[in-house]
Amino acid sequence: MTGLVMPKADEKTMARRAEIVAAMRAIVPGEGVVETVNEMRAFETDALTAYRQLPLVVVLPETVDQVARILRYCNENGVRVVPRGSGTSLSGGSLPLADAVLLVMSRFNRILEIDFPNRVVVAQPGVTNLGITTAVEQDGFYYAPDPSSQIACSIGGNVAENSGGVHCLKYGLTANNVLGLEMVLVNGDVVRLGGKHLDSEGYDLLGLMTGSEGLLGVVTEVTVRILKKPETARAVLIGFPTSEQGGQCVADIIGAGIIPGGMEMMDRPAIKAAEDFVQVGYPLDVEALLIVELDGPPAEVDHLIAEVERIAQANGSTTCRISGSDAERLSFWAGRKAAFPAVGRISPDYLCMDGTIPRKELPRVLAGMRELSEKHGLRVANVFHAGDGNLHPLILYDANNPGELAAAEEFGADILRLCVKVGGVLTGEHGVGVEKRDLMPEMFTEADLDQQMRIKCAFDPNHLLNPGKVFPQLRRCAELGRMHVHQGKMPFPDIPRF
């Protein structure tokens, strides 16, 4: 993917840059328009730092009306727009385009309403994920989805990516925790979807918007559900001699009707890297390390901890430690949470992949990864959201060695192909973005992708919003809308009829 091809910059738009910047300044006054190369550098990439591109101009609106006017102007003038929240996308979802306005929503940073009787928070899209929890935690509430970038990532970005996190096994993804949106369509129309009530009076546009990666509209307000914080949480740290035993333990826990608050697994290379980094006492003689966290009322947690311990032993665990204090629980997590930087210590660079597989396929996929590791001559360390089969293989490489980035990307693509082959998907929570864009045909047929692009056309008929992301090939909406009809007789006279 080092050969990443983005939509060709439109020279006419590039030539009109001064005029477009002036139009943006007329809509957003003062420091809300950033146009010098030096200042725009801060926006040239997101958390997929392998790719960089300066935008045409950066605009940071403060009001919904400004967003509507910017989009209306761009729509009428055929100017592309890349929306951006905090820029923490791991798939290049907010990678700028040379001929596109970068629409940065970070100044929409206020919490608009906290409603405890209905247990919802209404926030502007630039509020961070953690910011929502912070606003309600003194009253004992929290917002459940917790992507690892929660300190920085914005709730608007969470909607765009349908973000997950450790807790989503029990508490759901962003899509299950967002009740309402206000958004601006590319034509400048402002629409509201949902609110403090549940479900939709019409099509589930809220469901479509969530995870649409900035291609359908720009979110200007988000209503989320908040939950009462569980009274207690305890964790069990379990080591296994083989990954098969670890995988079976996960299956047996779920088979016993237990849905833990979090259930994470690490393989030997990841365990070693994490332990070397944070020294929290992870066993180094195991192939798989499982962290199972149970949360809820103390009586429930105690009951389930005993169950999990029994299941772990039945599956041949060689270590099984139960956290006796919150400090100890957090130490169990410290290694897992530090896994990415820990791998960063042992390798100059790494790529973080994000496939999901049916859980039972874990041993097969791990074995496949070992073979691929030899084939590509690169090391891989694995951390998983074990409860839902979401894998994060970390491919270790050195960008200073010619060809290693390309080899790492090819290795990553092979892993994702393997995920699809065993019944899984290309991305569990990081999004397609530019990173997995060209792999979409591994999972979808042309007909599947055409129907998705027709949905895009219903929202954005000129492909102006975030082009070059998600879809490997952009097809014109007029062409997509054409019907290829098969004139003919009544089909299958043998189809049963009454």
Partner 1 sequence: MTDFTPTTPEEVLSVVQWAAAEQAPLEVVGQGSKRGIGRPAQTEHTLSLSRLSGVTLYEPAELVLTARAGTPIAEIEKLLADYNQQLDFEPLDYGPLHGQAAGAGTIGGVLAANLSGPRRLKAGAARDHILGINAVSGRGEAFKAGGRVVKNVTGYDVSKAMAGSWGTLAVCTDVTFKVLPVAETETTLAIRGLLDDQAAAAMALAMGSSAEVSSAAHVPEGVAISVVGGALGSDAATLLRLEGFPPSIAYRLNLLQDMLKNAGELQVLLGDKSKAVWRDLRDCIPFADGTHKPVWRVSMQPSEAHRMTLDLRQNVPASAFYDWQGGLVWLRMEHGEPEAERVRALVRAHGGGHATLVRANAAVRAAVPVFAPQPPALRALAERLKASFDPHNILNPGRMAG
Name which of residues 350 to 379 contact partner 1 (CB under 8 A): 356-360
Q: Is 138 helix (H, G, I), strand (E, B) or coil?
A: helix
Given the rule CB under 8 A, which of 54-62, 150-158, 369-377, 454-462 is the region that contacts partner 1?
Answer: 454-462
Given the rule CB under 8 A, which of 32-40, 56-64, 336-344, 453-461 is the region that contacts partner 1?
Answer: 453-461
Q: How far is the CB of 347 from partner 1 (least distance, A)?
A: 26
Asked if 29 is part of the footprint of partner 1 (rule: CB under 8 A), the reply reads no
| Nearer Cβ to partner 1 (74/254) | 254
Q: How far is the CB of 12 from partner 1 (least distance, A)?
A: 27
Residues 395-434 that bind partner 1 (CB under 8 A): 423-432
- CA dist 254 and 252 (Å) reads 5
- CA dist 104 and 87 (Å) reads 9
Asked if 393 is part of the footprint of partner 1 (rule: CB under 8 A), the reply reads no
Binding residues for partner 1, rule CB under 8 A, total: 106
Residues 156-185 that bind partner 1 (CB under 8 A): 161-162, 164, 168-169, 172-173, 175-176, 185
Q: Is 33 helix (H, G, I), strand (E, B) or coil?
A: strand
Residue of 304, 311, 338, 362 interacting with partner 1 (CB under 8 A)? 304
| Nearer Cβ to partner 1 (129/427) | 427
Asked if 451 is part of the footprint of partner 1 (rule: CB under 8 A), the reply reads yes
Q: How far is the CB of 367 from partner 1 (least distance, A)?
A: 19
- CA dist 50 and 41 (Å) reads 14
Q: Is 44 helix (H, G, I), strand (E, B) or coil?
A: coil
Q: How far is the CB of 322 from partner 1 (least distance, A)?
A: 17
Residue of 389, 393, 467, 468 interacting with partner 1 (CB under 8 A)? 389
Asked if 112 is part of the footprint of partner 1 (rule: CB under 8 A), the reply reads no
Residue of 286, 459, 463, 464 interacting with partner 1 (CB under 8 A)? 459
Asked if 448 is part of the footprint of partner 1 (rule: CB under 8 A), the reply reads yes
| Nearer Cβ to partner 1 (56/457) | 457
69-107 burial by CB neighbour count: b if 16+ within 10 A, else e?
bbbbbbbeeebbbbbbbbbbbbbbbbbbbbbbbbbbbbb
Distances (CA, A) of 93 to 18, 67, 87, 434, 477: 26, 19, 8, 7, 22
Residue of 204, 285, 326, 479 interacting with partner 1 (CB under 8 A)? 204
Asked if 473 is part of the footprint of partner 1 (rule: CB under 8 A), the reply reads no
- CA dist 4 and 196 (Å) reads 42
Asked if 286 is part of the footprint of partner 1 (rule: CB under 8 A), the reply reads no
Residue of 207, 283, 344, 363 interacting with partner 1 (CB under 8 A)? 207
Residues 120-149 that bind partner 1 (CB under 8 A): 140-141
One DSSP character per residue, 190-254 reads EEEEE-SS-S-SSS-HHHHHTT-TTSS-EEEEEEEE-EEPPSEEEEEEEEESSHHHHHHHHHHHH
Q: How far is the CB of 24 from partner 1 (least distance, A)?
A: 24
Asked if 445 is part of the footprint of partner 1 (rule: CB under 8 A), the reply reads yes
DSSP H or E stretch at residue 433: none
Whether residue 433 contacts residue 93, with contact meaning beta carbons closer than 8 Å, is answered with yes
Residues 225-244 that bind partner 1 (CB under 8 A): 228-231
Largest Cα separation within the chain, whole Å, is 73
Asked if 64 is part of the footprint of partner 1 (rule: CB under 8 A), the reply reads no
Q: How far is the CB of 470 from partner 1 (least distance, A)?
A: 7
DSSP H or E stretch at residue 23: helix 17-27
Which residue stretches of 223-361 are H helix? Answer: 243-255, 268-278, 298-314, 326-337, 339-346
| Nearer Cβ to partner 1 (3/257) | 257
Residue 30: both structure tokens together: 């003062």
